[in-house]
Amino acid sequence: MPSPPPENPTTATSGPPEAGTARRKRALLALLLSTLLGLCALEFGARWHALKGFDAAVDSVLHTKFAAQANSIARVVPHPELGFWRNPLHPQHNSLGLRGGEEMLGPRADDRLRVLVLGDSVAYPPEGFVRDLELGLAARSKRPVEVINGAIHGYTTYQERLYLERILPALDVDLVLLQYCLNDNYDFLHQITESGNMLLTLEAKSHLFPQDGGWLATLTRSSYFVYGLRKTLYQRSQEAAVHPWEDRVFGSAWRPETWEKQRAHLQDMALRLAQRHVPFALLAVPHEGQLDKQRQAAYPGQVRYPQAQLGTLCAELKIPYLDLFGAFTQAQDAALFTDGIHLSEAGHRLAGTALLSFLDERGLLPGL
């Protein structure tokens, strides 16, 4: 009896064509689902990072919030005059947008020493030189000490002037200290993004969110992850300046025409504080590029031009002025910066130490 023909292995294992199609569909579906889950994880991670917390990220997802609103999530919200400010409805802020409670407002109930620091992201960190100033004053004073950190990311001298005008009537302080950065010679350098937390230069904002819209701009507005990715790519596409005065942002401090406005801002703040018999002082933080010894030797007058302008203005207006250029130049091997302008831990420590000595030498806090 003849034996049956050998079985075709391919036919035996593959099954009918419909089975192969079903497997491919399931594999494709699994790939799509895993990709979707991965993108969701990236989006949630981006929100967690941007909003500084898991709970805030969850809330932003559940409420589909990306537009800036006066809610308890956003730390910074739009303001019609200031451009933006700290959200007064945030649980860590008071009604004037200052970090802290309402008890810091109004007359002091005790013999408390109180200092207000205004500035931008250089002075903003809670663990930075503003905290060191408070600890140093507390160690020397027999009175309770409170240093209010009123610095706001992205602010310019103009915005700080407007903010002081807004909050001063509610504050009882012994000294106001203004921190100056070399990107402060603008009216508004930054605009708030639709997230309510992220700031962009006007140039970057026009690139990421063009007025004519389009699907990519719409996607950028709705996704923290896409926004962060596009912002990073944009920043990397910008050519690094050879010298600080050639930088698109910091170069404004080397333009003579910008200093007339700076004079007006500082004069207004000084007069406003003098009317309340409150001392006023200014602290200038250098750009890391200014500290390069070779650049200082090659461009001796140009390197320090902004600080020289500030020194002249402060002398005319009788504003005590601390320029950190010299102290930072001497200690430049200590890695004082994180990105060219924001201070490292060592930079904050040095600034705090120099500031305490400056206040002592100028006698700006009598009866300390």
Residue 126 lies in a domain: yes
Distances (CA, A) of 360 to 137, 156, 316: 10, 27, 22
Any bridge partners for residue 84, and if so which?
78
Task: State residue 69's pLDDT score.
Answer: 44
Residue 47 lies in a domain: no
Q: What percent of the chain has pLDDT over 70?
A: 81
Triad 358, 362, 365: Cα angle to 5°? 90
Residue 18: pLDDT band with limits 50, 70, 90: confident
Q: Which of 132-136, 215-219, 338-342 has the lowest mean pLDDT?
A: 215-219
Residue 45 lies in a domain: no
Which one-letter DSSP state was computed for residue 295? H
Task: State residue 211's pLDDT score.
Answer: 60
What pLDDT digit, counting tens, does each position of 267-293 carry? Answer: 999 999 999 999 999 999 999 999 999
CA distance 166 to 80: 13
Residue 266 lies in a domain: yes
Residue 151 lies in a domain: yes
Structure tokens at 26: 């399931």
Q: Which of 27-41, 80-94, 159-173 has the lowest mean pLDDT?
A: 27-41
Distances (CA, A) of 260 to 26, 189, 190, 267, 268: 69, 17, 21, 11, 12
Q: Which of 9-18, 162-171, 234-243, 337-346 has the lowest mean pLDDT?
A: 9-18
Structure tokens at 145: 């000490």
Instruction: Kindly report the number of other CB atoms within 10 A of residue 50's CB atom.
Output: 20
Overall number of domains in the chain: 1
Any bridge partners for residue 6, and if so which?
none
Give the residue numbers spanning the domain of 355.
108-189+249-362
pLDDT at 35 over 70: yes
Which one-letter DSSP state was computed for residue 7? P
Residue 350 lies in a domain: yes
Any bridge partners for residue 83, and if so which?
79
Residue 10 lies in a domain: no
Does residue 116 come out as left (phi exceeding 0), alpha (psi in the -120 to 50 range) or beta? beta
What pLDDT digit, counting tens, does each position of 212-266 carry? Answer: 667 776 776 667 777 777 666 655 655 567 899 998 889 999 999 999 999 999 9
Task: State residue 3's pLDDT score.
Answer: 64
Q: What is the mean pLDDT of residues 135-156?
A: 94
Task: State residue 70's pLDDT score.
Answer: 40
Cβ neighbors of 306 (< 8 A, separation 6 or more) are 182, 253, 254, 284
Q: Which of 75-89, 258-272, 300-314 has the lowest mean pLDDT?
A: 75-89
Q: What is the mean pLDDT of residues 3-32?
A: 72
Residue 355 lies in a domain: yes
pLDDT at 66 over 50: no
CA distance 305 to 258: 12
Single out the residue of 22, 72, 284 nearest to residue 177, CA to CA: 284
CATH code of the domain containing 287: 3.40.50.1110
Residue 206: pLDDT band with limits 50, 70, 90: low
Task: State residue 225's pLDDT score.
Answer: 79
| pTM as predicted | 0.78
